[in-house]
Amino acid sequence: MKYVKPSALKPGMISLKSIFDKRGVCLLAANHELTAGIIKQLQIMDFPGLYIYDEYAEYEDLREILDEKTRMDAVNALQTMNIDRVMYLSTEITESLLGVDELVIDFKDLKFYHNDTFAHSVNVAMLATTCGIGLGLNNYDLQELCTSAMLHDIGKRGINKDILDKPGKLTPEERAIINQHPAIGYNMMYDNPVVTSRTRMGILLHHENWDGTGYPRGIKEDHIPLYARIIHVADVYDALCQKRAYKDDYDPKECVEYLMANCGSMFDTRIVENFIHYLTIYPVGTDVMLSTGQKARVLKNRAKTVLRPVVMLEDKTVLDLAKDRDTYNITIVGYDQVFIEGENLTEP
């Protein structure tokens, strides 16, 4: 499986996932061949890229931790401000994540869509809830955290789209307007009887930093409620991943390193240390170089052993770097990310 940008797509390639337009209309179902027409449409839509099957796909762990229908339902509920539905889907997402064996979030589980606040919000909900599971929160708290994460940027509805979508650098005045979105979101949910106060505080305080340099209150450390501290980490992580999908700036390892580098300043160290157990360093589909000099493809990741995935050598031998006793001395010394332009891709 490789992630291929529209400029490198070719008719006959097979998409791993269903493709939807911004209105949620399915353009192509998963496991179907791309046609020249679909590729042209994706290029016109400025679609970021697609996961495409290659010769390793049959061996790779391609399970999704959240099905596309639930994801689309959640995006629609946020778009239509159907808060009851958001809460219902928070329960579904939480149960779905609790039901996954080997819970780990791969890049392929995060939807990439340029400037789509609601798709981002669902990613953040998945990430924050996964972090909450790692921290041992009970089911009620996980659902409440998931709701808060889904709604964390709801206040952006109250910000002028010209400012939100402005390409390039914001002026200080524009930045100040955008920074109002947590308070706007809090106020939007204030009179909603089904939204709890802890959910609202997650919305209001998700841009507070551990060292007190965040906004809107500038509070610090444990004065920042737990949900807000978790959502802050999940929000920044997804933003870095999105940046990687579009601008070739951060790879998965660098996204995790950014979180670690900002422990104690932006983030609560305890939360980051827990969170990174569930984030892939070498996502499924990454080509790696082993310390033995052999090339291999990453097939599967497991929580808490993300530096030592299951890999397949070029002769199709499978090595489980976390569990096989005779692989203890083997390390990953280089990697070529799953994100490629597609020139070297073996066509299906």
Residue numbers of the site for Fe ion (CB under 5 A)?
153
Closest CA to 333 of 289, 301, 296, 294: 289
Residue closer to Fe ion by CB (options 114, 277) is: 114
Cβ 179 to Fe ion, closest distance in Å?
A: 9
Positive or negative: CA dihedral 74, 78, 80, 86:
positive
Q: What is the DSSP string of 170-237?
A: PPHHHHHHHTTHHHHHHHHHHT-TTS-HHHHHHHHTTT--TTS--SSS---GGGS-HHHHHHHHHHHH
Residue closer to Fe ion by CB (options 73, 153) is: 153
Residue closer to Fe ion by CB (options 228, 245) is: 228
Cβ 145 to Fe ion, closest distance in Å?
A: 16
Residue closer to Fe ion by CB (options 153, 208) is: 153
Cβ 191 to Fe ion, closest distance in Å?
A: 21
Residue closer to Fe ion by CB (options 100, 163) is: 163
Cβ 346 to Fe ion, closest distance in Å?
A: 41
Cβ 126 to Fe ion, closest distance in Å?
A: 16
Residue closer to Fe ion by CB (options 109, 153) is: 153
Cβ 261 to Fe ion, closest distance in Å?
A: 21
Q: How far apart are CA 162 and CA 170, in angstroms?
A: 11
% helix, strand, coil for the chain, step of 5 = 45, 10, 45
Partners of 289 in the β-ladder: 295, 334
Cβ 124 to Fe ion, closest distance in Å?
A: 9
Residue 84 in tokens: 């009851």
Note if the bond before 182 is cis, omega within 30 degrees.
Answer: no
Q: Are 114 and 241 in contact (CB under 8 A)?
A: no
Q: Give 320: exposed, middle or buried? Use CB within 10 Å, 0-12, 13-18, 19+.
A: middle
Pairing of strands 2-4, 339-340: parallel
CA 139 to chain centre: 22
CA distances from 209 to 201, 212, 303, 337 (A): 14, 5, 27, 31
Residue nearest to Fe ion as judged by C-beta position: 153
Residue closer to Fe ion by CB (options 153, 268) is: 153
